[in-house]
Structure 1
Amino acid sequence: MKSILESLQGGLVVSCQAPTDSPLHHPAAIAAMAEAALNQGAVGVRIDTPDHIQAVRARCGGHPQAPRGKHPIIGLWKQVMPPSEVYITPQFHQAAAVAQAGSDIIAIDATQRPRPGGETLGQLIQQIHERLGQVVMADVDTLDNALIAIDAGADCVGTTLFGYTQETQAEKPPGFDLLKAMVQRCAVPVICEGGIASPEQARQALELGAYAVVVGTAITGIDSLVQRYVGAMTAGKLFP
């Protein structure tokens, strides 16, 4: 587990995801994104859903620059299960599917919001460690939740959910103040994720002590990026 985390240190992890209504939300497209990212120096990728993880593992696992474990796959499975607000790998059976598909690290929602099925955070992390033998990345929104996740056994913590929970909805990522506080207080690697929109911000995150930086939309979010460009260019209708 330690060597898997060490392979991320100081590097860029690219989140290769796409909206479910996008043509890019297809295993082959996601795998191509992942290979392109690794070819250009990313130290790992973050992938949603077992099908996409399996495709990335098949395409990149034998890559000469990306043997399994050297450039890890951070796997997760987003599942909306009302009334719970927890949706990033909320239960063990989703974590098991992610592991079977080929992940090296499993990302989970580690906020203190009620989990579907009543499973506690500590129980989920323990099962992932003991039954799957996988590293756990705890996605959190606050320093308190990061510390609770570490006490529950998380191997690393990420600022992923800052700005996306009721407690932090008034905040806008990236959460650099949260990052600094977590770096100072957390005894495990702290990964900066969420809202990184430029290479300069990614560098700033490392300078603030981030162990690694995850970037998604700014690199792979073709759908939202095109929408922004088109929206700006058509605002005011300069042409008939």
Structure 2
Amino acid sequence: MARYLHRCAGGLVVSCQAREGEALHGPHFMAAMARSAVAGGARAVRINGPADVAAVRAAVDVPVIGLWKDGDTGVYITPTLAHALELAAAGADIVALDATARPRPDGLDLTATVAGLHAAGAVVMADVSTPEEGRAAAGAGADLVATTLSGYTPASPPREGPDLELVARLSRTQPVPVVAEGRYTTPAQAADALRAGAHSVVVGGAITRPADITARFAGALADVPVPAARPAAATDVTDEGTPA
């Protein structure tokens, strides 16, 4: 925990993830992505799944935040204590998990899950969507609270950009550091999160999803009418066929 707080205060955390079926899916590619992120100034990396965590842990000397997305509805970010412990065993310094009010698939409450991870020597990052969930996570013993799930749960309305209001509110009211995460797409937004009180800022797709980044540029160009081709400039020539 002290290592993370010292190294990451006021800094950038890069989420290096690729879904199955994407060109960069797999431990080798994620290790390379993590090295690139660290070379660019990332203070820590956030990595999905034990295999990628192990590969990245061997590749970089910065704190590794591990999570395990299992499923795509309900509680699917590190949904059970067993998932969390496997991430810790793979080398995650910090384990991120869903800390919303929704029931966890293994039936354990958040306090028991956090206690199990602490017993394994791991730091716990609680991904929440509301101020109330942030308070509950801190009360359950979580070491860090992240705004990752704002806009993605029934308790928090969808939004276009990052939830800076949640960052500010949690930073004012929680006894643990607050990590800003969720829809940060520009450097200015990341800086705004620090001004709102965040300890550090996680940025993912805006940095590490080349297909999505390319699609944004391609989409912007597709909306612009293509200008008509201009005729070639006429060139006066002499009777001998050379420019006059």
What is the TM-score when the length of structure 1 is the normalising length? 0.90
- The within-5 A match list for 1:74-93 is 74-80=65-71, 85-93=74-82
Q: Which one-letter code corresponds to 2:144 in the other structure? A: C
Partner of 2:129: 141
Partner of 2:87: 98
1:164 paired with 2:155, answer: no
Q: How far does the alpha carbon of each residue in 1:146-185 deviate from its partner, in whole angstroms, 9 at most, with x for none?
A: 0000000000100100011112133333000111100100
Partner of 2:203: 215
- The within-5 A match list for 1:55-66 is 55-60=55-60, 66=61
Q: Secondary structure at the match of 1:18?
A: coil
* Shift, 1:235, TM fit: 4.0
Partner of 2:212: 224
Task: List gaps (5 residues or longer) in structure 1.
Answer: 61-65
1:203 paired with 2:191, answer: yes
* Shift, 1:27, TM fit: 0.9
Number of aligned residues: 228
Partner of 2:28: 28
Q: Which one-letter code corresponds to 2:16 in the other structure? A: C
Partner of 1:114: 103
Q: Secondary structure at the match of 1:117?
A: coil
1:10 paired with 2:10, answer: yes
1:129 paired with 2:128, answer: no
Looking at structure 2, the residues matched to 59 and 117 of structure 1 have their Cα atoms a distance apart, in angstroms, of 32
Q: Identity across aligned pairs (percent)?
A: 44
Q: Which has the higher contact order (CA 8 A, sep 6+)?
A: 1
* Shift, 1:96, TM fit: 1.3
Task: List gaps (5 residues or longer) in structure 2.
Answer: 229-244
Looking at structure 1, the residues matched to 123 and 40 of structure 2 have their Cα atoms a distance apart, in angstroms, of 25
User: Could you say if the C-alpha distance between residues 239 and 93 of structure 1 is closer, same or farther in structure 2, counting changes exceeding 3 Å?
Assistant: farther
1:72 paired with 2:60, answer: no
Instruction: State whether residues 81 and 106 of structure 2, in contact with CA within 8 Å, keep that contact through their aligned partners in structure 1.
Output: no
Root-mean-square deviation (CA, aligned residues, Å) is 1.7
Looking at structure 1, the residues matched to 188 and 36 of structure 2 have their Cα atoms a distance apart, in angstroms, of 21
* Shift, 1:109, TM fit: 0.3
Partner of 1:63: none
Q: How far does the alpha carbon of each residue in 1:27-47 deviate from its partner, in whole angstroms, 9 at most, with x for none?
A: 111111101111122110000
Q: How far does the alpha carbon of each residue in 1:6-44 deviate from its partner, in whole angstroms, 9 at most, with x for none?
A: 321111000011222201011111111101111122110
Q: Secondary structure at the match of 1:166?
A: coil
Looking at structure 1, the residues matched to 106 and 23 of structure 2 have their Cα atoms a distance apart, in angstroms, of 33
